Amino acid sequence: MKRILVTGATGQIGSELTMALRYIYGNENVIAARHSRQPSPDIAATGPIVSFDVRDQSALIKVVKDQQIDTIYHLASLLSAVAEKMPQKAWDINMNGLMNVLETARMMRCAVFFPSSIGAFGPLTPAINTPQDTIQRPNTMYGVTKVSGELICDYYQQRFAVDVRGLRYPGLISYKTQAGGGTTDYAVEIFYAALQKKTYQCFLAESTQLDMMYMPDAVKAAISLMQADSQQLIHHNAFNITSISITPGQLAAEIKRHIPEFTITYKVDPVRQAIADSWPRHMDDQCAFLEWGWQAEFTLSEMVKDMLEKLAVKLTGGCDVIG
Ligand code: AKB
């Protein structure tokens, strides 16, 4: 029987991944760990919640022991834009939190999932069809913590045989929980603005192309990788995964097909634009496909249709839409 701990369970990925894991492994077997954000009503209603700071290793060890945890999905971290505003704090949370998780996993024999990001790449990385194994010289604190995180995960896997697996996520689009503090957040904000105000002022330039992914694909990727046969894995960790590669202009045009009166304007935020300009346009995810069968489901038009439908229900106070 699996006993799973999800750190950052109230964040953008965590709030959906926790529910998907509870559906598969049973509500009582998936413990949602939170720190600052309140849990969504479905997380609060369906299973156990614990509250601690990932930088507090004794608190983490106690939860792992008390709850007999065998797998940790470690999602708690600061995103790129906020990490650039407070780099020392970003290092503290992103790196010391991860070290505590890896050390706990080594001592208690847990498997670990660690989400890396397109932010692990930098301006010297080939931006088109970014290879799995390539130059990684990020110039942001977020990127520095993601590359360091990838390396320390590899180290724990090779040196201590901890079963650590991970993905490089693109920008994630979801209707349940907003991201907060990311460079790709425009791709979520735009949907709220389109439905509520019919207009959106974008903080990235119209032609800024980045990899994006709809949350159901992101959740599926994490679970499939953790379920994959370890004998088939060559990389284990930091797999490129990709889905939809778009610009704000293209996303706005697709939204306009559903809401013809929608308009977009651009007021570039130089900090987030510089971060976006240092990231790949489109990653090559062949290794994920070959090693564990990764394939995204949602196209741009399917994602936009689904987002608009489900977010409209949420914004009008309707019941959450499952699936
Ligand atoms: C961010 O924008 O910081 C994140 C990411 C791409 O890792 N969404």
Closest ligand 1 atom, residue 185 Cα: 2
Q: What is the CA angle 175-41-191, rounded to 5?
A: 15
Domains of the chain: 4-172+213-240 (3.40.50.720), 173-211+243-279+298-316 (3.90.25)
pLDDT, mean over the chain: 96
- Residues marked as catalytic: 142
Spell out which residues line ligand 1, taking CB within 6 angstroms.
79-80, 117-119, 142, 169, 171-172, 179, 182-184
By the 8 A CB rule, do 241 and 213 touch? Answer: yes
pLDDT, tens digit, for every residue of 40-54? 899 999 999 999 999
Ligand 1 test: best mutation among 139, 141, 142, most atoms within 8 Å of CB? Answer: 142
CB 319 within 8 A of CB 313: yes
The preferred substitution site among 86, 117, 139, 281 for testing ligand 1, maximizing ligand atoms within 8 Å of CB, is 117
122 CA to middle of ligand 1, Å?
Answer: 13
> Over 90: is that where the pLDDT of 37 sits?
no
Mutating to test ligand 1, I would choose from 82, 85, 118, 213 the residue with most ligand atoms within 8 A of its C-beta, which is 118
pLDDT of the residue at 1: 78
Cα–Cα nearest to 186, from 196, 201, 169: 201
Please tell me the predicted confidence (pLDDT) of residue 179. Answer: 80
Q: What residue's CA is closest to ligand 1, atom 6?
A: 171
- Above 70 in pLDDT, residue 322? no
With a cut of 60, say whether residue 320 has pLDDT above it: no
Residue 323 has pLDDT above 50, yes or no: no
121 and 279 Cβ atoms separated by less than 8 Å: yes
pTM over 0.85: yes
Would the pLDDT of 291 be above 90? yes
Whole-number Å distance, alpha carbon 231 to ligand 1 midpoint, is 30
Give percent above pLDDT 70 in the chain: 98
Cα 32–chain centre separation: 16
Q: Is residue 113's pLDDT more than 80?
A: yes
Q: Whose alpha carbon is nearest atom 5 of ligand 1?
A: 171
From the CA of 119, give the closest atom in ligand 1. Answer: 7
Tell me, what's the pLDDT at 319? 54
Q: What is the pLDDT of residue 92?
A: 98
Question: How much is the average pLDDT of 186-209?
Answer: 98
Q: What is the pLDDT of residues 205-261, one digit of tens each?
A: 999 999 999 999 999 999 999 999 999 999 999 999 999 999 999 999 999 999 999
Give the C-alpha distances (Å, rounded to integers) separating 197 from 189, 271, 309.
11, 26, 16
Nearest CA, atom 8, ligand 1 = 171
Residues 6+ apart with CB under 8 A from 147: 120, 136, 138
pLDDT of residue 317: 85
pLDDT in tens, 65-107: 999 999 999 999 999 999 999 999 999 999 999 999 999 999 9
